[in-house]
Structures are given as C-alpha cells and as structure tokens.
Amino acid sequence: MSTVTASQHVQAPIADVFARATNFADAANVIKGIQEIEILTDGPVGPGTSFRETRVMFGKEATEDMTVERFEPPHLFTLSAASHGSEYLSTYKLQERDGGTDLELSFQATPTSVFAKVMTFCLGKSLEKLAAKEFAKDLNDLRAAIEHGG
C-alpha cells in the first residue's frame, strides 16, 4: 500500500492540537471509530508509550497495539504497529497556519507476509480509498472536539 494521507485545519493553537491528539487515554471519547483504549505503559506520553486500541475499521472490529516511535512536540509524532502480516506507521505532522493548526496524518502499511502481499496487490487501491475515508473521519472528530470543547 502506498502512503494514504488525510488532513484538517483546526482553529486552535498548535500546542492545544498536539496535546489533544496525543491524549491517547481519551481517544475513545473523541474519535467515534475508536471503541476502547488501554494504556500499556506508565508515565507521560513520549517515545516508547504503548497502548491497545480497539476500533471499527472497514466495518469490522480490530485491536492493535500501538507504540509511539517519535515524539517532537508540538510538530510531530509517529505511531507504529504490526498486525495481520503488515507493519503500520502513522505520522502526524502539525503546522501553524492562519491562526490555527494544519494537522496531517500519513499512514503507510508495509506487508511482511506472503498473504498480506497478495492481498495488497489485489485490493491495494480499494483499501487505500477506504482507509483515507476512515482517517478523514478520525481527524474531523478530533477537530470538532478541539474546536467545540468536546
């Protein structure tokens, strides 16, 4: 799968957007597609922070263990996961613009098993379109929560 991106402009300071986007413990209260979050590590959020996320993706429930790889407040953080024969990397970039913050999510799945490689070859473009829609919904939910205090 090639890189899938989604973005939102949020009418809030970059520090507020970064803080809300990295408040993983509260993500299920903000993003409608997330059903449950379980924090797996102690301490403040940073590199090495891990959590288990259960969400509905492509109409099915999926649970993934996510790990913060990079954490560069207030401009960048990355999350990694490995599941279903693929490695996943989500990169969130934040940039100040027009009195608010541009928030961009880039998602990349790298198939590592033969089955995942075959499925990516057969369904790649369809999966990319579905993923882009899901990620756009997630960012819209996050934007709405930040701008409307939800």
Q: What is the token pair recorded at 79?
A: 């999350």
Among all chains, which residue has been given the structure tokens 């990295």?
22
The domain of 72 spans: 4-148
Looking at per-residue pLDDT, the higher value among 150 and 67 belongs to: 67
Residues pairing with 84 in the sheet:
none
* Start-to-end CA span in the chain (Å): 33
Q: Kindly report the average pLDDT of the chain as a whole number.
A: 89
pLDDT at 90 over 90: yes
What is the predicted pLDDT for the residue at 119? 64
Look at 52-66, 78-92, 119-133 and tell me which has the smallest mean pLDDT.
Answer: 119-133
Total count of domains within the chain: 1
What CATH number is attached to the domain comprising 11? Answer: 3.30.530.20
Please give the full DSSP string across 97-126, using - where no structure is assigned. Answer: ETTEEEEEEEEEEEE-SHHHHHHHHHHHHH
pTM of the predicted protein model: 0.89
Question: What does the pLDDT average to over 118-142?
Answer: 77
| Separation of alpha carbons 143 and 150, rounded Å | 10
Dump pLDDT digits (tens) for 18-75. 999 999 999 999 999 999 999 999 999 999 999 999 998 777 898 999 999 999 999 9
